[in-house]
Structure 1
Amino acid sequence: MHPSFEEQRMGKRRYITGFDGLRAIAVIGVIVYHLLPATLQGGYLGVPIFLLLTGYLITSSLVGEISRTGTVKVVKFYIKRIKRLYPVLITMLVVSTAYITLFQRVLIKDLRSVVVTNLLWVYNWWEIGHGQSYFDRFAGESPFTHMWTLSIEGQFYFVWPLVLLALFAIIRRKSIIKWIVLGLAVVSAILMAIMYDPANINRAYYGSDTRSFAIFLGAWLAMVWPVDRLKQNINRSSSRVLDITGIICLVIVLVMYFQMSGESPFTYYGGMFIFTIFSMILMAVIAHPGGHMNAVMTNPVFKWIGQRSYGIYVYQYPVMIFYESQVKSMGAHPFINALIELAIILLISEVSYRLVEEPLRNYNWNNLTRDVRHIFTKDGGWKAWTGTLVVSVLTILFIVGMVIKPQPPKPNQVQSEIDKSSKQVKEHNAALQKGQPVPNPSGKKQSLTKKYGLTKSQVAKAKQLKVSAIGDSVMADSAADLQEVMPKAYVNAQVGRQGYQSPQVIEGMAKKGQLNHIVVINLGTNGALSSQTISQILSAIGSKRQVYWITAHVPTKNWQNTVNNEIKQTAKKHKNVHVVDWHKYSANHVSWFASDGVHPSDKGNIYFTRLVVKEILKDN
């Protein structure tokens, strides 16, 4: 992945081939998580593995240089990192911006800030204040969200040589310095727990201070487990201990890949730190020449993926965002589309590796003027001319994308309807809280039986139902209709709401007396729902209340079927959970939805409300 993620041939030190395997596991986890988040809910944990490798390899190199020469050639170090990082980074930014300029101008908003902060390696801090949650995958996704980790790496490259030089100059004793480094790792993990806010995890997730524990653990390992001092000739018993330890850690790492949700509080209260420790031990075992884990993690496939992991990581998100914006059947065929996206990512990464990464990694930039002149000679050749033309076109489009003024978003009918509904719901909820008569927005009595296709008996019973509804933008869109039929319903809906935010919302409603015996849940529009999140939601509601869970209709997203299967499985396990199958009920009814194919139209809100009411009345 990043140069940090690339094993350096530090001086005469051996090349640890198993690190390519470790990189492969890391990037596979991240890619699968982004393509099919519900399939590998802990795949995002590949990032701490990359950061571990960063800390270990770079610190090994720097400490070795300090030991040999007493100093670090800082400027040379910076130049080497820039030459390794920038070609792929700039290529991705230019190509992505060119695509946005041509085909997806809605993403031009904030584009200049995104590009500049990425080039300055501070994008993660920009994301904290301006970006969306890493786990929000529904609308307005940036193709650059994943680049926060590269900024943390860049900051580490810039600061760490100076910090190490200062530590060795002031303290001098490596035995003390290594424990200071370990202390920094522990402090970082504590900061993650302190900064964690379930309502907004951006600060804990993107912060350099809260995520650097992985880098510091790698740096600490480099000092206590130096690669050039590990002996190959060890006794069989020690080798067996190494192998068993490595296998156990590998199993734990893979299990946590499948089990540890990025939306779980445990992840931030030490879970990610624990994962990183096991990954660090696994990395240590791979690095030791006396064991066999290096051989286990070495094969042609892992080598190919590992060597291209930087490009794979960098190009993955733009491919996914651009592809998914054009394909409307993601929910119906998630695996087929995931395979197509993966193929595109690997193809682009291979082209980049051959035409950008490898040629420019060791390119002598002093020859740039000479080589440019050569292109325009008779000996330049068609390849040089073609390359020049492609680069020129992309550069022009990039400049256009950077200088054109972002157009204010066009009036969005869905958002307007949600805003209108939310205003009515706010007034309705306030009246319910005060025990006052609820307002009638239409100003006149309407025939609910005719409008919603309900019997007079159903309408009469619905008016007496005390319901609490919790949901995302789909619920917000339909809330006014729900309260028109069930005037005693209290609705708490928010655009962009994630499943992991809901337990806290539900607990707050319970404390305020807003949680009724009947609870309607409508979540899953903005991302996959893990079984752990569902358990937390049900725990917050309590087993004595009746839960009516509405299935998701998100045909443009690959988690639709997974979310709906989770809901149905939950209903089988819990007698108080009932499925309201909006996905099945609304199938093939295009007119029931707005232009995005997700939020109900006015007509769809009527049928949505009708289904919810009838399902509740079947049991009440």
Structure 2
Amino acid sequence: MEKKKRLKNARYITGFDGVRTLAVIGVILYHLVPSSLQGGYLGVPIFFVVSGYLITDLLNQEWQQNNKIDVLGFYVRRVRRLYPALLAMLVTTIAYITLFQKELLTNIKEIFASNLLYVYNWFQVLHKESYFDHFGTPSPFTHLWSLSIEGQYYLFWPIIVALLVVFLKQKQRIFNLIFILAFISALLMAFLYKTGSDPSRVYYGTDTRMFSILLGSALSFIWPSSALKKEISNKGRIVLDALGVSSLAAIILVFFTMSDQSSLVYRGGMFFFSVLVMIFVATVAHPGADMNKLMTNPLFTWIGKRSYGIYLYQFPIMVFYESKIQSIGSHPWRNALIEIAMILIVSDLSYRFLERPLQRFDYKQTFKAIKAAFTGGAKNSRQKVTVITGLVVIGIAAFGMVVVPQATATGSNDLQANISKNAKTAEKKNATALKKASSSESKKTDSSKKASSAKKESKVPVEKQSPTALTKAEAQKASNVYATAIGDSVLADGTDLLQDALPHMYVDAKVGRQVYNAADDIKALDAQGKLQDNVLVGLGTNSPFTTEQFDEVMDAIGSKRQVYWINVHVPTRRWEGPVNSMLESQKKKYSNLHIIDWHAYSKNNTDWFYDDNVHPDPDGSKYYATYIARELIKNM
């Protein structure tokens, strides 16, 4: 009876399942094939706008019908809808990593608790976790930041709606106020965003992301679903359909074009995208328009109803699958299809056997149901197996939360130790390289002459060359090479031997460095007089990048310098192919760009690398340093 009274004038808008489908497809493909759908992360603002609209619409209806909002009842309904699947995902994921990937158990109690309390996004901010550093061992919980923002919204919004209705009364005033608050949130995102830095703080923050939910909430006050009439004029229908189709087309276009590293995203782009979504949602909600029909079909309905589970399970499945498959980069689409199938199967099982049943389950009968499973004989054998399996999984997860590993995998420790050692030795070698380079200006210019003369000199026979050490003749040529190297952890891993082979090379290598923040670092090196005429670049390991970001790096280096860019060997990541293809294509644009094909040279030699199959181990570093030194000598 309560449900009928509370939802007396409500209608189920089937097209919203289609909108959710659009959102979840964007998010999934962004994670699986980022080079093909670089703006798919904007599926999350779509979820936010829809959620803000629907929740506020229902709260408004409740106020109109009952002259009050049952806040406690609202909380109970949200918990019953969202907690079972979230809790199941957390427990099963923790159980899995307890058994198979113990290195992911670090901070697991805090991760578990912060997700249940819906504050995980702030945990990520405080721990400086990057959403955009895709390399290393990704957390299977990274994506849950958005659920925390929604959870915080659910906690306060019913109370805020009641206060707004009581004190402002007029819906237009309420709309104006909420829209202003949304705009302030977007301004805060723009203010806190720093060009060339990791944007994770503004990406995760409730304060900087709330505008999407607020826009949906504002819409519900001037566009309540229960007040929209099916009978409208032809002109009105045409206007709504035109707005709906054009906003949908714009949303899809942005999915394909707006990179998560573009400054435009954080300086108004995401806000205006959310406004587009608000317009689109308004047209889908209106029964007199045709957009609801357009977004309603069996496939969209099936996916839309399971979109919560799909979103929940996508990241754990991707992380676990990709940790076992070493050829992700070689077959990105094949692996993507396998992962999509796994996500759909798991989310369907969650929807059928967890989300729907537990939404109606009387939790007061929990112990009675468990007892019945063990005392009902053969007829309850399936329930008994289910209960036992659940208890075992819970037990494993509980054990994992208590027994936290003292250290990460051995290979990871060895790599970190090697990078730390190299960083210390690089300081001394860099000082020597700078001293040699600055001893005379003529020496600096003479270096390019000597290096370029290498082509004219007779080459050392291939059979006398060692793949792990330069010959005496090559070492002599290498001693005349003056260069600056800038790169990420792969370069940092090979710095020591590389500087042994090229003693006049200054190296600036940082773990986690991305192409999008390299331009500022290069400009700083130039201002300090550390950027020489030959520049070696080792970037692209951590994520794909746009041509605009590549252009920024090349512009920072300048057209008068020769650039030697080492392409990437990242078979465990799907951007390996797109990054290397993009680097090759840029040679046509930049005459001073030379690609060092480390990928082709190393791809069939897994024994050269640590367990991650990306960073060369001590033996592999010999091949890395020798090959790069040889390529520099050959091309200068």
Can you list the C-alpha shifts for 1:114-153, whole angstroms capped at 9, x where unaligned? 0000000000000012252112222121100000000000
Task: Provide the C-alpha distance between the structure 2 equivalents of 1:243 and 1:235, rounded to a whole number of angstroms.
Answer: 12
Give CA deviations for 1:286-327 in whole Å, capped at 9, x if unaligned.
111222111111111111110000000000111111111111
**Deviations 1:568-598 (CA, angstroms, capped at 9, x unpaired):** 1122332222111000011322332233221
1:148 alignment partner in structure 2 = 145
- For 2:305 and 2:115, locate their aligned partners in 1 and report how far apart those are by CA, in whole Å: 23
Match of 1:217 in 2: 215
The one of 472, 483, 490 equivalent to 2:506 is 490
> Aligned partners of 1:309 and 1:593: how far apart in 2?
39
Written as runs of structure 1 = structure 2, the 5 A alignment for 1:173-572 is 173-197=170-194, 198-378=196-376, 381-409=380-408, 411=410, 412-433=413-434, 453-572=469-588
Q: 1:435 to 1:547 in 2, by over 3 A?
A: closer
Q: Equivalent residue for 2:451?
A: none
Change (3 A) 1:183 1:21: same
Separation of aligned partners in 1, 2:46 and 2:485: 40
Q: Counterpart of 1:614?
A: 630
Q: 1:121 aligns with which of 118, 125, 130?
A: 118
Q: Tell me, what secondary structure is at the counterpart of 2:594?
A: strand
Distance 1:234 1:138, change over 3 A: same
Against the structure 1 CA distance between its residues 60 and 451, is the aligned structure 2 distance closer, same or farther, given a 3 Å change threshold? closer
Q: Distance in 2 between matches of 1:594 and 1:572?
A: 34
- Residue 44 of structure 2 is matched in structure 1 by 47
Match 1:594 to one of 610, 621, 629: 610
Cα offset, 1:399, TM superposition:
1.2
1:332 to partner: Cα distance: 1.6
Query: Aligned in 2, Cα 1:368/1:451: closer, same or farther, shift over 3 Å?
Result: closer
1:179-211 Cα offsets, whole Å, 9 max, x none, are: 110011001001111111342322111000000
Taking structure 2 as the reference length, the TM-score comes to 0.91
Q: Distance in 2 between matches of 1:415 and 1:309?
A: 39
Tell me how far apart the structure 1 counterparts of residues 300 and 533 of structure 2 sit (CA, whole Å): 54
**SS of 1:548 mapped into structure 2:** strand
| Contact map agreement 1:529 1:566 (CA 8 A) in 2 | no
Cα pair 2:211 2:271 within 8 Å, conserved: yes
Q: Percent identity?
A: 44
CA distance in 1: counterparts of 2:48 and 2:38, whole angstroms: 19
- Give RMSD over aligned pairs: 2.1
Measured in 1, the distance between the counterparts of 2:178 and 2:583 equals 45
Question: How far apart, in 1, do the equivalents of 2:535 and 2:172 lie?
Answer: 59
One-letter amino acid of the structure 2 residue matched with residue 422 of structure 1: A
1:91-126 CA-to-partner distances (Å, cap 9, x unmatched) read 001100111111111111111110000000000000
Partner amino acid for 2:91?
Answer: V
The residue identity in structure 2 corresponding to 1:285 is: T
Pairs within 5 Å for 1:7-22? 10-22=7-19
- 1-structure distance, mates of 2:513, 2:155: 37
Residue 453 of structure 1: how far off its partner (Å): 4.5
**1:215-259 alpha-carbon deviations (Å, 9 max, x no partner):** 011011111222122222222222122222211111111111111
Counterpart contact for 1:547–1:576, Cα < 8 Å:
yes
State the Cα deviation string for residues 438-475 of structure 1 (Å, max 9, x = none). Answer: 9xxxxxxxxx9878554545433332323121111111
Would you say the 8 A contact 2:171–2:222 is kept in 1? no
1:328-373 residue CA offsets vs partner (Å, 9 max, x unmatched): 1112221111111111111100111011001011222233343233
Instruction: Give the unaligned 5+ runs of structure 1.
Output: 1-8, 439-447
Contact between 1:431 and 1:437, CA under 8 Å: does it hold in 2?
Answer: no
Q: Partner residue of 2:134? A: 137
Amino acid at match of 2:423: S
Supply the AA of the counterpart residue of 2:289: G
Deviation at 1:602, TM superposition (A): 2.7
Q: TM-score, normalised by structure 1?
A: 0.93
**CA distance in 2 between partners of 1:500 and 1:397 (Å):** 41
User: The residue matched to 1:156 in structure 2 has which SS?
Assistant: helix
Report if aligned partners of 2:10, 2:58 keep a CA contact under 8 Å in 1: no
CA deviation string 1:150-193 (max 9, x = no partner) = 00000000011111222223333332221110011001001111
- Residue 21 of structure 2 corresponds to 24
Provide the C-alpha distance between the structure 2 equivalents of 1:464 and 1:159, rounded to a whole number of angstroms.
67
User: In structure 2, how many angstroms separate the alpha carbons of the residues matched to 1:376 and 1:559?
Assistant: 51
Taking structure 1 as reference, are residues 594 and 371 closer, same or farther at Cα in structure 2, changes over 3 Å only? closer
Of 154, 159, 162, the residue aligned with 1:162 is: 159
Deviates more, 1:248-257 or 1:121-130: 248-257
Supply the distance in 1 between the matched residues of 2:376 and 2:65 (Cα, whole angstroms).
49
CA, structure 1 residues 12+32, in 2 after alignment: closer, same or farther (shift >3 Å)?
A: same
Question: Deviation string for 1:405-443 (max 9, x for gaps)?
Answer: 3223355222222111111112222444566999xxxxx
Query: What SS class does the counterpart of residue 464 from structure 1 fall into?
Result: coil
Instruction: Evaluate the alpha carbon distance shift between residue 89 and residue 611 of structure 1 in structure 2; reply closer, same or farther with a 3 A threshold.
Output: same
For 1:585, the equivalent position in structure 2 comes to 601
One-letter amino acid of the structure 1 residue matched with residue 301 of structure 2: K
Secondary structure, counterpart of 2:595 in structure 1 = strand
Aligned to 1:6: none
Match of 1:470, SS state, is: strand
The change in CA–CA distance for 1:436 and 1:614 in structure 2 (over 3 A counts) is closer
**Of the candidates 89, 106, 118, which is equivalent to residue 109 of structure 1?**
106
Residue 58 of structure 2: SS of its match in structure 1?
helix
1:41–1:530 Cα contact (<8 Å) kept: no
Q: Which moved more, 1:207-216 or 1:521-530?
A: 521-530
Unaligned stretches of 5+ in structure 2?
Answer: 1-5, 440-463
CA distance in 2, matches of 1:511, 1:166: 56
Task: State how many pairs are aligned.
Answer: 603
The alignment partner of 1:164 has SS state of: helix
Q: Which moved more, 1:125-134 or 1:71-80?
A: 125-134
Amino acid at match of 1:99: Y
Q: State the distance in 1 between where 2:171 and 2:438 align.
A: 74
